[in-house]
Chains A and B, each alone.
Chain A
Amino acid sequence: MAGQVRSLGCTSPNDRLDVYRNAYFIRLEAALAHDFPVTEKILGKKNFARCAADYALANPSGSPSLREFGHRFANWLRAEESPMLGDLAAIEWAALNVFDGPDANAADAQRLHAFTPEEWPSLHIRLMPTLTLLTLGSNADRVWLEKGEGIELEAAPVHYIAIWRGEQYRPMLVGVDTDNHAVLDIIAREPELAVASERLAEELDPASVPRRIATALHRALAHGWIASIEIGHSFADEPRY
């Protein structure tokens, strides 16, 4: 490339190209630091910059917006650095989705009372588009809540969390117990309740499935994690986010 650059004055073609080279990495690192501030705090500026540069080399930006640049960062950290850092970055990525993800109104907390037990199998449930369920093997949730101040990132027993949009687009985080997580995790992929029930019955005591589903849905409604519950609603007609 330097061979195609005009020489002028005391700045060599290489020095001129260096302005672009340096700016490329500085800009991408700044974008990641903006989107993953707690991960940066835990890693330290120097280590974070090294990770950002390695990530940038392995994952060139494929979007016109820098906002999308970090979409593989959590997985990359999980694979290349540590699963704990992957946990933390995944929380920060979910928080970013809370900030500028799709808008939706939460269903009324009493929504389930509108249906008879016979109608339940035909219900379709759409979770809030900015709700993220995560499985953690570290205390990344505590670290994130403390903004990385005065706490070490360390391994922890497997547990589940939900991150969702609160007032003023603030990210909210709460622990989710194993049962509720199992139900919501399946509903996220299988919005039709009859199908979700079948899947759950493959893993759990089938007799307990209706009760577990009812408990999980009531909790989710109370938190505002459900956008809609409708009978036999065709999702093909819904706008895709």
Chain B
Amino acid sequence: MKKDITIVLSGEAGQGIKTVEKLFIHSLQEEKLHFFSTSEVMSRVRGGNNTTEIRIGSPVIQSFKESIDVLIVLGKNGTERVQHRLHKDSRIIGEEKNIPESIATSFSTTYVPFKDIANEAGNPVLTNTVILGYVLGMLGLQQKIGKKQLQKTFKEKEEKIITQNIEALKKGYEIGKDAVIKIDLPRTKSTPDKIILNGTQAIGLGAIAGGCNFMAAYPMSPGTGVLEFLAHQAETFGIVVEQAEDEIAAINMVLGSWYAGGRAMTTTSGGGFALMEEGISLSGMTEVPSVTHIGMRPGPATGLPTRTEQGDLMLAVFAGHGEFPKIVLAPGSLDECIHISQKAFDLAATYGVPVIILSDQFLLDSYSLTEKPDFSDTSYKKHITKTTKKFETYKITENGISPRGVPGHGNGFVCVDSDEHDETGRITEDADVRTAMMEKRLKKNKLITQHVIEPTIIGDSNFSTLIISWGSTYGVIAEALENKKIKGLAYAHFSQVFPLPNITKKLTEQAKRIVVIENNASGQFAKLIQMELGIKIHENILQYNGFPFSIEHITSVIDSELSRISKK
């Protein structure tokens, strides 16, 4: 019997797909089912066509799947953009008027008058609840779990709203039950230890755990979510949150805050980050730390504002004029989003350098279950010294790191400067001081590379073929490798992309064939590795249509690599 299923909700913006998604995935968690839910939306507030794909199955599932088992149509344009993803056994469910006849006749189609049922339950706005009931019934899940979610979601609403919703759920459930799908979904044992998160929430949680107490940003999708997340936590955790007038202000506020002893972060997308570059350079020169989150979306310019891409790696790695150390991180899973975001603050504070976190729309907006983080003994070093009268901001030390003072804490003065400066922070044009200060700053690189976040390596340690990826492509590749005999092949996922971990050299030297998978057009990480190590990359697997890699695509890449190995 089938052990997993892919359901797609397809409708217009403003129709409440997000509400169904939220209620549904929480019901799935209650049922101890593992799921992965990813959305793609058009850049508009009403109309168009948005879809949410919910995959249910084993815990390995963590990617976008092209092939749809059940398509639930919520609006008029609900089939056009997805019909090529249907297969011979696909089911289509929706109102008759929303499903073109040609499609209805080619697939197993069930007309369900969701809206009329909602009206019967008391209100057309209950359509989403009817759909929820239908899907639960269709999957043979418990109605009472949906009921519990509704009670939780509407607990602050009047009684009538709750009873109407429960009625709508029941009506939907009854019809769904008649169309039940025979399926054996694997239950997980320990869902209480798991929580539902998307990448945005995971990065936000990690930031708080890292001591983030200042956030300034200018809204830009898909980076805005982290700003909003922290705004909601501002009072509880004592976080200064400000919507800056532009990205230039945002990064300069971040620096002002770190200078005064805050642990500050900004969030944006590629376009906003381009405006911040001078500030990143300032962070490098002043040695005032900074943490910047870039939620990547396809460029150039405004590009595809609501879609996904990994096109800003080079932008991040080479951000800012002049030469200075920086760290670029790229989480690939929810767990990494939490821990890397947390770690970013520690790295920034330890080395006094800009730290950039690269994520993307796919990672930020996709929901899944992840191990519940344990923050009970979370602590961090502030790396702040109480200054004395003799304090010098840029004291030259063995490892390049000067003790960090903050104004008002101690008897000394903290003087930072964007001009080249001497140890007291005063402007200088002395060539010897310049050389010494350049060396002081760049020396930190050595320490940074000694304490990198190592890549995750999966597969055969005796590999001859090495697959490399970074950031959000981790999920799809790891899923594709699961349950496969991978003799001769290994996969390295990088969550620190710059500076490159030292082990990269060893890994790439062992490989006879290197394949780099990236969600961009020019193979930026492959180029970076080539530039840093002078090795040859044999193949780039690239995609730049605004969508994440599908499991089908990556499975075929891996299959062909495996058959290439076995033919040898």
User: A and B bound?
Assistant: no
Which B positions have Cβ atoms within 8 angstroms of A? none
